[in-house]
Amino acid sequence: MGSSPLPLPHIAVFPFMSKGHTIPLIHLAHLLHRRRLATLTFFTTPLNAPFIRDSLAGTDASIVELPFPENVPDIPAGVESTDRLPSMSLFIPFTYAVKRLRPHFERALASLPTVSLLISDGFLGWTNDSASKFGIPRLVFYGMGNFAQTVSCKVAVYKPHAGVTSYDEPFMVPGFPHIWLTRSDLEPPFDDPNPDPKDPHFQFIVEQTMATGASQGVLVNSFYELEAAYVDRCNTEGVPRAWCIGPLCLARQTSPPAEKTGWMDWLDSRQRMNRPVIYVAFGSQAELSAAQLQQLAIGLERSGLDFLWVVRAKAMDLGQGFEERVMDRGRVVRGWVNQMEILHHGSVQGFISHCGWNSVMESVSAGVPILAWPLMAEQKLNAKFVVDELKLGLRVRPSGGTPNGLVMSEEIERSARELLVGEKGKEAAGRARNWAEAARKAMDGGASWLTLEKMIEEVCVKRTTENAIVSAALVTAA
């Protein structure tokens, strides 16, 4: 009698409801499918399901929709993702709403055939208890790099900023004598050495951190070579283990889209004219103020550079007559673009970015240098890593020495030109190309490729094998 091969492990994936946290897990789904490493079920809510369903096309992943709670204080009806929140100040109430998915999630989990692993977002700490209840290991996905993760941990534990008296006085990060930060580099509650234990944001962070600590590991969208010192430090000192399996944006084999957008045609025209383009985009949720958008418009206009600018706020005024005046060398897109496709276009040679970690990984993978303009979350740490450590970019500085002040048009004009046509920009571009090659290798048989396999073997397959043996024993006994 021939033995049939063991079934592939089945993984439940539960992303947090924001694009930046969902997109890399979708890439992971494509990778696991293509490499025949696992089958998948994705958990989401009804209004997020269409995006996930479209993005998972071509995989055999199934989707379970959990009903989003109604009548949640402060959260407008019909909002099921952070990019639709009227303001990011509603983030914490949003997480309370999301927590109410738990009974639905557990009922759905119970109805699935054997689940070998739960991969859930770091902001869904409560899923750790659900996984434990069902005896399923959980890996956490934060969507952050190792640098930001390690530095934040060191600061939170050792409080080196307790000894400074102002937001711009530098302090050293314990264990990393070459890293100096100021409190302005950190977001609340991390910027405060003695956060109020009753602060809901602080409580949220503590809760997620405890749940991460109790999980089986952290999946990181990065590759070993890029952040070796920080990965090693995480894995020798930190619990639980970090598995670097990225850049996940390279997981999918890209094929040309069925229909070409106007802006991709326009980029083609720039390439034919041998004119480099600077791409300007700030991710899926950050909003620039009207005053800041106008400074950016003036800076781009005065720079004389060709640019492609993605503006989230559809009705936002960029200054009278701006779009007409720059028509022959600039494009403004209001809406969703395929950022990966843009960054890989041969004409795009610089990226003005807020340094969300996905954008950093996408720029690194495409070999495009960055003009770092961090806005929120861990973006200032990412910007520091990109500029000071990887040296593949430059940074804009807000006016008046205040970290959250306006970035004036003169600064934008000067630094954008330096990135695209200056000496420093050329050096950064050379390094970016080298990193792109390293990223490709990591995903194509290199460290990330092997780590993913190892993770499945250690965390997942073992359990499936044990289950198969237990199930076989039960069947035999019956």
Residue 27 interacting with ligand UDP (CB under 6 A)? no
Which of 141, 190, 357, 373 touches ligand UDP by CB under 6 A?
Answer: 357
Residue 247 interacting with ligand UDP (CB under 6 A)? no
Which DSSP category does 388 fall into?
I
Contacts of 469 (CB under 8 A, 6+ apart): none
Complex with ligand UDP: residue 8 or 311, whichever CB lies closer: 311
What distance in Å separates the CA atoms of residue 319 and residue 301, rounded to the nearest whole number?
A: 11
Put the strands of the sheet holding 348-353 in their side by side order.
330-334, 306-311, 277-281, 348-353, 370-372, 393-395
Which of 15, 20, 299, 367 touches ligand UDP by CB under 6 A?
Answer: 20
Residue type, 407: V
Complex with ligand UDP: residue 195 or 403, whichever CB lies closer: 403
Grouping H, G, I as helix, E, B as strand and the rest as coil, residue 185 is: helix
Please, what is the Cα angle at 117 between 116 and 119, to 5 degrees?
160
Which of 356, 367, 369, 393 touches ligand UDP by CB under 6 A?
Answer: 356
Q: Which residue has the tokens 């043996």?
A: 469
Residue 362 interacting with ligand UDP (CB under 6 A)? yes
How many residues in the shown chain lie near ligand UDP by CB under 6 A?
18
Q: Which residue has the tokens 């290199």?
A: 446
79 Rama sector, left if φ>0, alpha if ψ -120 to 50, beta otherwise: beta
CB of 377 to ligand UDP, least distance (A): 7
CA distances from 153 to 107, 147, 158, 344, 402 (A): 34, 10, 8, 34, 25
CB of 247 to ligand UDP, least distance (A): 10
Which of 88, 206, 337, 421 touches ligand UDP by CB under 6 A?
Answer: 337
DSSP H helices, 81-145, are: 91-99, 102-111, 127-133
The residues that bridge with 307 in the sheet, in sequence order, are: 278, 330
Which of 358, 365, 409, 415 touches ligand UDP by CB under 6 A?
Answer: 358
CB of 11 to ligand UDP, least distance (A): 21
Which of 285, 347, 415, 448 touches ligand UDP by CB under 6 A?
Answer: 285
The DSSP bridge pattern shows strands 171-173 and 176-181 to be: antiparallel
CB of 257 to ligand UDP, least distance (A): 13
What is the longest distance spanned by two Cα atoms in the chain? 80
Which of 359, 365, 448, 464 touches ligand UDP by CB under 6 A?
Answer: 359
Complex with ligand UDP: residue 10 or 30, whichever CB lies closer: 30
Residue 339 interacting with ligand UDP (CB under 6 A)? yes
Which helix (H) or strand (E) element contains residue 41?
strand 39-44
Give the residue at shortest CB distance from ligand UDP.
20
Complex with ligand UDP: residue 45 or 359, whichever CB lies closer: 359
Residue 82 interacting with ligand UDP (CB under 6 A)? no
**Within positions 130 to 149, which residues make up the interface with ligand UDP, using CB under 6 A?**
none
Question: Which residues contact ligand UDP (rule: CB under 6 A)?
Answer: 19-20, 23, 283-286, 310, 336-340, 356-359, 362
